[in-house]
Amino acid sequence: MELLRSFTNPDLSYLANLCHNCRGCFYACPYAPPHEFALNIPKTFGQVRNESYAEYAWPRVLAGVFASNGVVVSIVTVACLTLIFMISMYFQGPNSLYAKHLGSGAFYSVIPFRVMVTVSTVTLGYALLALAMGFLNFWIDIGGTIQQLFSLSNWQRTLADVLTLRNLGGGGHGCTDKDETFSNARRRFHHALFYGFLLCAASTTVAAIYDHFLHWIAPYPFVSLPVLLGTIGGVGMIVGCSGLTWLKLVGDQTPADRNLLGADIALTLLLALSAFSGLVLLALRSTEAMGILLALHLSFILALFLVLPYSKFVHGIYRSGALLRNSIERRLGSATSIE
Amino acid sequence: MVDLNSIYDVLVIGGGNAALCAAVTARRKGKSVLLLEHAPRDLRGGNSRHTRNLRVMHGAPTSILTESYSEDEYFQDLLRVTAGNTDEVLARLTIKESGNALPWMESCGALFQPALSGTLSLSRTNAFFLGGGKALMNAYYHTADCIGVHTLYDTEVQTLHFEGRSVRNVTISVKGFPATVRAKAVVAASGGFQANLEWLKEYWGEAASNFLIRGTPYARGRVLRDLLRKGVMPVGDPKQCHALAIDARAPKFDGGIVTRLDCVPYSIVVNKLGDRFYDEGEDIWPKRYAIWGLLLARQPQQIGFSIFDSKSLNRFMPSVFPPVQSQTIVGLAAQLELPPAALEKTVREYNVSVRPGNFDSKKLDSCHTEGLVPPKSNWALPIDVPPFYSYPLRPGITFTYLGVKVNEEARVLMEGGTPTDNVFAAGEMMAGNILGCGYLAGLGMAIGTVFGRIAGREAAKIADN
């Protein structure tokens, strides 16, 4: 790759998505602004990444949502808030939102069980389908084959890279997260968000198993697997979202495209609101505030899963694909020893 | 915070590698240190920003260097490139101390690339900075900041006021405002004068106005000239500079490595009149690339044009600019504003003089011209497969050789050889003591690091007395 003299669009998509935006190249480059060449690779790659999110979006007609993504995410969130409150009032009557509900099945007296399960299954299924299709569009475009996706050895290094964020460690000393000095802050905050998100997903899964197979109906006591997983995960997500947003706002703005900030903030804010509303719901679930809080929480979750394939969230999908190609290239490279 | 009313223990003039090494060393000895950098913060670091490695003596393989590189081999390499134009005592001191440089650099936050296995010959002799010279400077400035070195950017030193053999105060200009700094010892590490076109004109006449300067625009030599005027002993030939052929479209200053072109052996090079003027295939390129800057400097308007055809397009590393391209030689001449008939004649005469041979870009081959003046002795292939290409070339000045004479303590010597009391020099400003002519990759950074540390240490001793 480094020996190429000209690059195709798929090459650039691959490189831009392989880039973890550590910005080390910017601070090391003698041609960065104010040099008259004004080379700003992190900013350019950020723009190329955003164009690639649109290019590989499924279905293609929704590519436009990446143009002003912060607005789209906000509007969807507002729409979901409206919808969930209307559903609650339509099925259970307006008063149930303000009443105190206790004991097994309390949540379902705000939103009926059947509605909750149907909406969440359909949304989750669609989000996973759209993300998978986007990944495939990207993978085929950068020259990957379906066969390569089913080779376990190809995935080994990639999974390790994704789960440890090895490339945000800069080889141990960290990355230029905020300015030209090195830190591990971005890696740690991302870990908090990523694993927090996974713990929340695990919490929901365990709750679904309890409900479906064991017929233990929510809400669960504080010392129970779903609540503990969700609480730790929620705190992790809030820490991660706050930290990442802090880095975005106080960090050097030169190697970033201001126009892409909206998409970043919109998604981290939505993630943080999902987690925060969940924690407040837990704290106040035995009071009259539970109805409103549950409706809020479910609105944020619904919005999150609706925008999942059409928000900054997709960076993880495409970066994993780029890391996969990179690990295949490395294995081929070490086998044939590139001149 | 910077306090211009206080007397600093050590004043460091300059903001590149040598200056930072001196400042950090003196500060670590507990001295108050003020560092004056002429450039603004974004462009700090002098020509060290454009460097990539330093040449290091070592006895055994390390995590970043392969095999070994002995003091004698290092010295022989230096003798070869300088043709003996070196001070052996200072040269051997630099070489020996280079062997201790890496751990110290790492203590200042320097990061290195792991040794590249395989063919890259420099991985044996040179340690490569992770991220290059600018990243190294960032690490040094950060370290300096953390340990309390005071730094002023946009600050030019104008005059050093001597009392006998000592400097007590220095007139400076801080963002254009005049000020005076008092210090017990002064380290001058502010480079050569290659970015001072007026000074270059003293030796090159008007031709110098067409020179391109490959590095920082702040290497104006003001402190160097000031010291020489005050009776400091010079070293190095003032007329000499290290000059390459670089892309003529490069910026006036700071174009750096990406404007370099290695196209000469695979092309013919004509001047503004459309005529060839030197044997493009005289020897392998690494042995010849440093003569082409001065060859171009002697041509009308200090410009040349490398002309080649599609056979040669991918034989060399291109510059950051695309080549000028045309289906015909006449079309190429029009774009380059060369006389078309003359260029056509030059190419035609060259093509008929080319003798068939076995082309081999890796060694002196049998492809040469016959009956052509000047000849092309190797890699001569007819220019006959369109499209035709050209890179315009101008002299690109890397550095000048003139400096101040120093001793083993980095102490500046006055005319006659008496050492000054409290003035030290490091880096490019005194590199001419060791590198009298020629060039050895990574030696400049080795000299800067070794003498920067010596100057910082010795300057700190002055403050103790």
* CA torsion angle B329 B334 B339 B341 (round to 10): 40
Provide, as residue numbers in chain B, all residues whose Cβ is less than 8 Å from the Cβ of A41.
none
Residue of chain A with shortest Cα separation from B318: A5
Q: Please tell me whether the peptide bond between B387 and the residue prior to it is cis, using omega within 30 degrees of 0.
A: yes
pLDDT of A13: 96
pLDDT in tens, B225-265: 999 999 999 999 999 999 999 999 999 999 999 999 999 99
Provide, as residue numbers in chain A, all residues whose Cβ is less than 8 Å from the Cβ of B133.
30
Give me the mean pLDDT over the A9-23 stretch: 95
pLDDT of B299: 97
Fill in the amino acid letter for B390.
S
pLDDT in tens, B294-332: 999 999 999 999 999 999 999 998 899 999 999 999 999
Delimiting residues of CATH 3.50.50.60 domain(s) in chain B: 7-197+401-464
> Which 3 state secondary structure label does DSSP give B143?
helix
Q: CA of B273: how far to CAs of B299, B300, B328, B342, B350, in Å?
A: 10, 8, 18, 7, 16
What's CA B404's distance to the chain center, in Å?
A: 17
pLDDT of B219: 97
Residue length, chain B? Answer: 465
Contact B131 A27 (CB under 8 A): yes
B309: distance to nearest CA of chain A, Å? 17
Residue of chain A with shortest Cα separation from B319: A5
Q: Does A33 touch chain B (CB under 8 A)?
A: yes
The burial class, CB within 10 Å (0-12 / 13-18 / 19+), for A250 is: exposed
Residue (of B341, B370, B332, B378) closest to B354 by Cα position = B370
Q: Does B133 touch chain A (CB under 8 A)?
A: yes
Q: Beta partners for B7?
A: B182
Q: CA of A184: how far to CAs of A68, A165, B129, B136, B352, in Å?
A: 30, 11, 21, 19, 64
Of A33, A35, A173, the CB nearest to B254: A35
pLDDT of A338: 36
Residues 6+ apart with CB under 8 A from B121: none
Delimiting residues of CATH 3.90.700.10 domain(s) in chain B: 244-397
* B6/A144 Cα distance (integer angstroms): 66
For the domain spanning B244-397, the CATH number is 3.90.700.10
pLDDT in tens, A91-112: 998 888 998 998 888 999 999 9
pLDDT of A337: 38
Of A28, A34, A337, the CB nearest to B134: A28
**What count of CB pairs under 8 Å joins A to B?**
41
DSSP-assigned states of every residue in B9-69: EEEEE--SHHHHHHHHHHHHTT--EEEE-SS-GGG-SGGGGG--EEE--BSS--SS--S-B
Residue of chain B with shortest Cα separation from A254: B42
Contact B134 A181 (CB under 8 A): no
pLDDT in tens, A249-288: 999 999 999 999 999 999 999 999 999 999 999 999 999 9
A53: distance to nearest CA of chain B, Å? 29
Strands B150-152, B33-36: pairing is parallel
Confidence of residue B117 (pLDDT cuts 50, 70, 90): low
Confidence of residue A334 (pLDDT cuts 50, 70, 90): low
pLDDT of B116: 65
Residues 6+ apart with CB under 8 A from A338: none
Range B7-197+401-464 classified under CATH 3.50.50.60:
yes
A118: distance to nearest CA of chain B, Å? 53
Give me the mean pLDDT over the B116-129 stretch: 76
Give me the mean pLDDT over the A227-255 stretch: 97
Question: Please, what sign has the CA dihedral across residues B422, B425, B426, B432?
Answer: negative
Average pLDDT for chain B: 95
Residue of chain A with shortest Cα separation from B258: A31
Strands (E) across B189-297 are located at: 212-213, 234-235, 241-247, 268-271
Neighbours of A143 (CB within 10 A): 12
Provide, as residue numbers in chain B, all residues whose Cβ is less than 8 Å from the Cβ of A252.
none
Contact A28 B111 (CB under 8 A): no
Give the pair of three-digit tokens for residue B404: 């101040």
What residue spans define the domains of chain A? Answer: 9-148+171-321
Contact B142 A181 (CB under 8 A): yes
Residues 361-380 on B with a CB inside 8 Å of A are: none
B131: distance to nearest CA of chain A, Å? 5
* B103/B110 Cα distance (integer angstroms): 9
Q: Does B131 touch chain A (CB under 8 A)?
A: yes
Residue of chain B with shortest Cα separation from A28: B135
Give me the mean pLDDT over the B130-157 stretch: 97
For residue B129, pLDDT beyond 50: yes
Contact A29 B133 (CB under 8 A): no
For residue B120, pLDDT beyond 60: no
Contact B132 A28 (CB under 8 A): yes
Q: Does A169 touch chain B (CB under 8 A)?
A: no
Q: Does B146 touch chain A (CB under 8 A)?
A: no
pLDDT of A95: 87
Q: Does A36 touch chain B (CB under 8 A)?
A: yes
Q: Does B258 touch chain A (CB under 8 A)?
A: yes
Contact A33 B133 (CB under 8 A): no
* B434/B91 Cα distance (integer angstroms): 5
DSSP-assigned states of every residue in A75-90: HHHHHHHHHHHHHHHH
Give me the mean pLDDT over the B268-289 stretch: 94
Contact B138 A29 (CB under 8 A): no
* A111/A97 Cα distance (integer angstroms): 9
DSSP-assigned states of every residue in B144-203: HHHHT-EEESSEEEEEEEEETTEEEEEEEEETTEEEEEEEEEEEE----STT-HHHHHHH
3-state helix, strand, coil in chain A (%, to 5): 75, 0, 25
Provide, as residue numbers in chain A, all residues whose Cβ is less than 8 Å from the Cβ of B135.
24, 27-28
Q: Please tell me which residue, A334 or A317, carries the higher pLDDT value.
A: A317
B317: distance to nearest CA of chain A, Å? 9
Contact A30 B42 (CB under 8 A): no
Of A24, A36, A181, the CB nearest to B131: A24
Q: Does B43 touch chain A (CB under 8 A)?
A: yes
pLDDT of A336: 44
Tally of CA atoms within 13 A in the half-sphere of B291 that contains its CB: 14
Provide, as residue numbers in chain A, all residues whose Cβ is less than 8 Å from the Cβ of B131.
24-25, 27-28
For residue A339, pLDDT beyond 70: no
pLDDT in tens, A181-216: 999 999 999 999 999 999 999 999 999 999 989 999
A51's enclosing H/E stretch is helix A41-55
Average pLDDT for chain A: 94
Give the pair of three-digit tokens for residue B32: 């108050």
Provide, as residue numbers in chain B, all residues whose Cβ is less than 8 Å from the Cβ of A25.
131
